[in-house]
Amino acid sequence: MNNNYINIYNNLVKLTRNKELYKDFKNQDTFSDRLLFFLLHFAFFLKIYKENNDKKLLQDIYDFVFRQVELSIREIGYGDQSINKKMKEYLNLFYGMIDKIHDWDDLSKESRTVLLEKFLDNAINADYLVDYFEKYRLNLINNTLNSHIKGVIKQ
């Protein structure tokens, strides 16, 4: 397996470990919650970098990241049948996220809040998350894809 994109994956995992993301959740910091935040971060990542970068490179990153997610699910102890079912659910959820955040730039703060609440049904205060993901989006815009691959991003 090609590990050229491990920095991207590790940075996404690191972002999902931010305890501030979970402070207003009914249920605290479960694997499912972390995976939701991971997928949201990755959806924003692909949204920002899809315009000005090689599609094959982004496809390789996508393949690598979802292979790592699958390996993480295996480590938890799911069997082969369960993994296939879970991966299908996660991929469908991810495509829904990509579809919804496609117009993020044009949405009002209230619309962004509603959008995030659709995916994060445990969130009590989604306003913080709207601000967080807007800052994350701006951070992605201010860094190049190559800086993420090399692991030299500014946070």
pTM: 0.90
Q: Which residue has the tokens 């809040």?
A: 113
Query: Model confidence over 81-97: pLDDT tens digits?
Result: 788 888 899 999 999 99
Neighbour count for residue 74 (Cβ, 10 Å): 13
Listed in sequence order, the DSSP H helices in the chain are: 6-16, 31-49, 55-76, 80-101, 109-119, 126-141, 145-150
Residue ranges covered by each domain of the chain? 6-150
Tokens of residue 141, six digits: 């815009």
Radius of gyration of the chain (CA): 15
Query: Model confidence over 19-74: pLDDT tens digits?
Result: 888 776 665 667 787 889 999 999 999 999 998 888 999 999 999 999 999 988 88
Tokens of residue 66, six digits: 């979802």
Measured CA angle at 80 (ends 77, 83), to 5 deg: 70
Q: Taking a C-beta distance cutoff of 8 angstroms, is the pair 33, 16 a contact?
A: no
